[in-house]
A and B are shown apart, each in its own frame.
Chain A
């Protein structure tokens, strides 16, 4: 959170000089008076100047973009551009990151691990001082949609295979979110049931054809 301490003959003057330094209007700043001004005996001689601390009020969205840009730059991945979708009624917003093409695989990580980590951190950091919290989802170069598409294909193919062979088929380990999506997606088919098995981070979805009584 950006803040400065400034002094002036009056509180108003001190605040003005702080606002100029921060480059924000009064409406976006919060002022705390550290010291009231006091008049000295001879004019200002021996008097005290007013001292104030002025803090920029950032929305969680501003804080989130700033955090991401800084982290990505410090990761050595260059200057990223963060574009926010409209905020929905529940304060949920999708942030799309654009970066250099060769930076993207690092930014996304294996099965989206880095993107997920950044998403988790940005939600904590950006909402820390916020009165009204927002929920952020991160995407980079349309990764989330592509991942969902490949997840759908993976799940459908594995379910078909389980039914065809009449025995359970296990998918590769995947994050909790992805497993949840696969369970929900395959629920729509009547011919298989799904369970998760194993320990994190190797927990995986097992698809069981309904005709065979594998569960019992």
Chain B
């Protein structure tokens, strides 16, 4: 699953080497925290979050198949994942 998340993000960015994915297990949910180079943030979020939404749909479908629940959070290397940063990049989670 982490492999899929990494591949999707690396395919979208111009600096694939700088994509970092960190997985954390909380209860029944796996959260993937993805960081990309600051210049690439727009490329993984997209206008009105459309790209992020599409990535989450694909990852969500794969997780569903395995009976798992996953969250994908996106940040840049400059912003740490404080609670607020996590929350603000979280707004497409429930679609």
Contacts and interface: CB of A to CB of B under 8 A. Distances in A.
Do the two shown chains form a genuine complex with each other? yes
Interface of A: 67, 70-71, 74-77, 106-107, 109, 113-114, 116-118, 120-121, 124-125, 201
Interface of B: 3-4, 7-8, 11-12, 46, 50-51, 53-55, 57-58, 61-62, 64-66, 95
Nearest to A114: B61
A124 B64 contact: no
Main secondary structure of the interface of B (DSSP, over half): helix
Contact of A106 (B12, B50, B65): B65
B12 A118 contact: no
Nearest to B2: A74
B64 A74 contact: no
Contact of B65 (A76, A124, A201): A76
A120 B64 CA distance: 20
Contact of B58 (A121, A124, A201): A121
A70 B8 CA distance: 10
Given A75-B62, A113-B57, A114-B61, 6 more contacts: A67-B11, A71-B7, A75-B61, A106-B64, A113-B61, A120-B50
